[in-house]
Structure 1
């Protein structure tokens, strides 16, 4: 089975690295294309047997499964440009949330899936969010699900929770990474600890934190309860967070959903222009 990747930016390159690390697809069975070709050739320097397609149409003509890893508003122009090259026996996989599988199915004759990755897939961990179109065969669903299991945990979602699921799985590492950075900066400003030491301690804390959850030692509520000794320092810190966090995460979720709704609206406008 030949795979293709259109768009080798942040998430496209993360997927490629994940696949190469996990041997989910052979190097010489992978074809990649990027609008800035040098980015694709840079990846080929690491994996010499990967094929770089200089024309996106050549990639589509060659492969069985195409992962489209471009920005949401670039998908419709791409599919319009290449509409004569898609075949019924192919599968288009989008990794972006605003473009529903139903809308994708209206644009191409092939089978359609949405598989939203996470940067955690680079460590052969984390979630891949799956939504399959009506046109997907049972065999192709099984193949994509089993393939994603090699480098992640597949998780099926309905369309109405796509954005919040992606907030947690895909955006979550950046959100909590940002909070960790703020914690480090505050530690340096308020105490005598240097930034490198604070960073090292925080990173190792996150690794251990993840292992506690992964190995099933504690749930999140249990973990908080275990660390919060009655009358202790941690409890005072939790109180401070309760007082200061306020509606932070409510506002965050509203913001991501507002951007999502904006993209969905613009995609609908693109499709209406097509019609």
Structure 2
């Protein structure tokens, strides 16, 4: 099966690399395009057997399935531009949370799905979030799930939960990475540990933390209770975190959902525009 990737920015590029490294698609089966075409050619220099096509319509004519990995406001214009070129058996997949499969089906007669990857998929780990369109056949759904299982745990999610699911799965690594980096910054300023030493300890702590969860040794609650000895330092530290961050995650959810609503509104406006 020949696969197209339109948009080779951060997530599109990660997805392309993951496809190749997990043998989900062979290099020769991949056709890519990017608005700044030099970025696509940079990937071709890394993976010489992939194909770069500067014209999206020519890419569409070459492939059976395409992943649309562009910004939300670019999605609808691209879908409109290719809608007449897609057969009913063609498969188009958006990786953007704010574009629902229902939005895609308003413009396209082909099989559609939304697939929200995570940077953790680059390590052939973590979750991906999936929503299938009504027009997608059971055989196509099964085929896609088998492919996505090569590098993730694909999880079907309802539209009402897609934003918070994306916060956890897709944004979560950056959120918790940022918190870890802020902690390291304070360690550097307030202790004798160097930034490099703190970074190494933190990275290995995260690796071990993930292994504990992966091997089902503890749930999150069990892990906290195991480390928090009554009257101990960890408990005092957790009390401080609890006192200093009572609104942090509430505000985080409000912020991400607020941005999501704005993106959805832009999508609705774009859908309302005439071609």
Same fold per superposition (TM over 0.5):
yes
Give 1:83 shift.
2.4
> Which residue does 2:112 correspond to in 1?
112
Give 1:16 shift.
0.8
> Which residue does 1:228 correspond to in 2?
228
Gaps of 5+ in 1: none
Give 1:51 shift.
0.7
Gaps of 5+ in 2: none
> Which residue does 2:123 correspond to in 1?
123
> Which residue does 2:91 correspond to in 1?
91
Q: Deviations over 1:123-181 (max 9, x none)?
A: 00111100000000001000111100001001010000000000000000000000000
What is the rounded CA distance, in whole Å, between the counterparts of 1:273 and 1:120 in structure 2? Answer: 37
> Which residue does 1:30 correspond to in 2?
30
What is the rounded CA distance, in whole Å, between the counterparts of 1:274 and 1:235 in structure 2? Answer: 59
> Which residue does 1:151 correspond to in 2?
151
Give 1:108 shift.
1.2
**Alignment of 1:53 onto 2:53:** yes
- Taking the TM superposition and a 5 Å limit, the aligned residue runs for 1:51-90 are 51-90=51-90
What is the rounded CA distance, in whole Å, between the counterparts of 2:42 and 2:112 in structure 1? Answer: 29
Give 1:230 shift.
1.1
What is the rounded CA distance, in whole Å, between the counterparts of 2:53 and 2:87 in structure 1? Answer: 18
> Which residue does 1:174 correspond to in 2?
174
What is the rounded CA distance, in whole Å, between the counterparts of 2:62 and 2:21 in structure 1? Answer: 23
Please give the secondary structure, in 1, of the residue aligned with 2:134: coil
What is the rounded CA distance, in whole Å, between the counterparts of 1:63 and 1:194 in structure 2? Answer: 51
Give 1:81 shift.
2.0
> Which residue does 2:201 correspond to in 1?
201
> Which residue does 2:210 correspond to in 1?
210
Count of aligned pairs between the two proteins: 275
Q: Deviations over 1:202-245 (max 9, x none)?
A: 01100100010011111100000011111111011001001001
What is the rounded CA distance, in whole Å, between the counterparts of 1:59 and 1:114 in structure 2? Answer: 20
Please give the secondary structure, in 1, of the residue aligned with 2:273: helix
Give 1:274 shift.
2.5
RMSD: 0.8
Give 1:26 shift.
1.0
Give 1:84 shift.
2.4
